[in-house]
Amino acid sequence: MVSTVESCQPTQKSLPPKTGSKRALGHLWSWCKSPWIQYPLSTLLLFKSDELIHLYEKRFLLPTNILSKSDRGKIDAAKLLFNRVGHEMNFANTDKLEVSVSSKFFLNAWTASHRWSKNPRVYLSDTILSHFSTEQLKGVFAHEVSHIKNNHMLITGFAVIGISGLIDFTAKKVTNKYFPKKEDKKRVIKKNLVMLGVELVGLTACAVIACAIMRQCEYNADWTAAQDPEKCTSLRNALSEFKRLTNAPTPRFWGAFEDHPSTDARIANLNKLCPAS
């Protein structure tokens, strides 16, 4: 008597056929996931991200009606100073540079703009505006103009898009190799878990690489600002003031996930670039 192994195995339950609406949603989802849609859309969003961020950040900007006359004067003076620094650093559209003051962060200055932004903008926390001297603000603005001129936000954004695309591609390759296309329900769950695992490892790697690029952009912005000896000293003084106000500890184990180098490392770097006082 011939008995086959197959005859002893339980019959595998195949997936139920998809209904009309589910199939349409599936088609729409795979269309959205197509690289022909994803990459042009990501690029467009990246170029417009500073405007989108501004729409979001508008909620946290200090409304002019609650500001005292002297605070309003400080904001206007900061904007003039930002424009002057931009002019000194040969930025083409200095009259379009904007300063927004936010109450959201305790102590921060940042930008999401690039050189082709309609209105390149720097966000300042109100604490910076009230604690930093004009000379220190000049250093801060020189650093931010460097970010804008050198398109650091675009460089980081494209790196993230590229790396995440690579992760997606690798995850699909791995799962398609080990799991054939027509699967039963149990193996579909297993396949999705493997894909999730590969994506999580890849995303962690992506975060570490993106943070390393961002830290390098910070050093690069400091370096560009430091080409003018006066701005170099101003930036170093601003960082020392930042350190005094925050008492920020140097990151250790989680340093790989930090998007900025430690303040100590940046001051040490500027000590090498600035003229001896």
| Residue 213 C-beta: closest distance to Zn ion, Å | 13
- By beta-carbon proximity to Zn ion, the closer residue of 218 and 241 is 218
Give the x/- contact pattern for Zn ion in 120-159, rule: CB under 5 A: ----------------------------------------
- By beta-carbon proximity to Zn ion, the closer residue of 199 and 218 is 218
| Residue 105 C-beta: closest distance to Zn ion, Å | 14
Q: Would you state the structure tokens that stand for residue 157, as one six-digit string?
A: 């954004």
| Residue 141 C-beta: closest distance to Zn ion, Å | 11
Near Zn ion in 209-268, by CB under 5 A: 218
| Residue 143 C-beta: closest distance to Zn ion, Å | 6
- By beta-carbon proximity to Zn ion, the closer residue of 50 and 218 is 218
| Nearest residue (beta carbon) to Zn ion | 218
- By beta-carbon proximity to Zn ion, the closer residue of 99 and 167 is 99
- By beta-carbon proximity to Zn ion, the closer residue of 224 and 233 is 224
| Residue 168 C-beta: closest distance to Zn ion, Å | 29
Q: Which residues bind Zn ion (CB under 5 A)?
A: 218
